Amino acid sequence: MDDDQNIIEHYNLKPHPEGGWFRRTYSCTDTVNLERGNRCCASSILYFLKSGEKSCLHYLDSDEVWYFHLGSPVKLHLFTETNYTSVTLGHSLNIGATVQHVVEKGIIFGAELLEHRNAFLSCSVSPGFNEKDFHWPNSSELALKFPEQEDIIKCLAS
């Protein structure tokens, strides 16, 4: 059995709809009442990308914090209404990597591995994750707004 499969089995990970592998590890028992409905206050997942996998472009109605643990550095591609930026998660200070980054609600984002090896991360969402708060963007419209990032958008489209 290869290392990827060992990690997937050890942490009991399942395929994630956006790509990669995950397991929900925490859902706060306290709830918050929002206009969009009741949500748990916070939730957390383990997240794993095998070599060659990606997290496809999506956005949430809640803030999401990404935490880097080990493996390949991971580049988060972030699209607001008017701006594109990227952040590298990892331990390589010489490339400006950080081990934690907040993706604010409504920002369209996706992630790619920067090396040909896996990466192990975790994410927390507040208010907690609910499938109704997960959205796929229109990649064609996004590419028209950000023509310089068209290749990135095509690569990370669902």
What is the pLDDT confidence band of residue 100, given thresholds at 50, 70 and 90? very high
Q: Enumerate the domain spans of the chain.
A: 3-156
**Is 49:20 a contact under the CB 8 Å cutoff?**
yes
Judged against a pLDDT cut of 60, whether residue 1 lies above it is answered with no
Read off the pLDDT of residues 4-26 as tens digits, 9 standing for 90 and up. 999 999 999 999 999 999 999 99
> How far apart (Å, rounded) are the C-alpha atoms in residues 28 and 118?
29
Q: What's the whole-model pTM score? A: 0.95
Which residues, at least 6 apart from 95, have a Cβ–Cβ distance to it below 8 Å?
Answer: 73, 88
Which residues, at least 6 apart from 94, have a Cβ–Cβ distance to it below 8 Å?
Answer: none
> How far apart (Å, rounded) are the C-alpha atoms in residues 75 and 32?
32
Q: At 88, is the secondary structure helix, strand, or coil?
A: strand
* Residue that the structure tokens 């990827």 belong to: 4
CATH 2.60.15.10 fits 3-156, yes or no: no
pLDDT at 101: 98
Q: Is the bond into 127 cis (omega within 30 degrees of 0)?
A: yes
C-alpha triplet 38, 158, 123: angle, nearest 5°: 45
pLDDT at 2: 76
What is the pLDDT confidence band of residue 107, given thresholds at 50, 70 and 90? very high
pLDDT at 155: 97
Read off the pLDDT of residues 113-152 as tens digits, 9 standing for 90 and up. 999 999 999 999 999 999 999 999 999 999 999 999 999 9
User: Chain-centre distance of CA 72, in angstroms?
Assistant: 15
Read off the pLDDT of residues 52-91 as tens digits, 9 standing for 90 and up. 999 999 999 999 999 999 999 999 999 999 999 999 999 9
Q: Which residue, 92, 58, 59, is CA-closest to 74?
A: 92
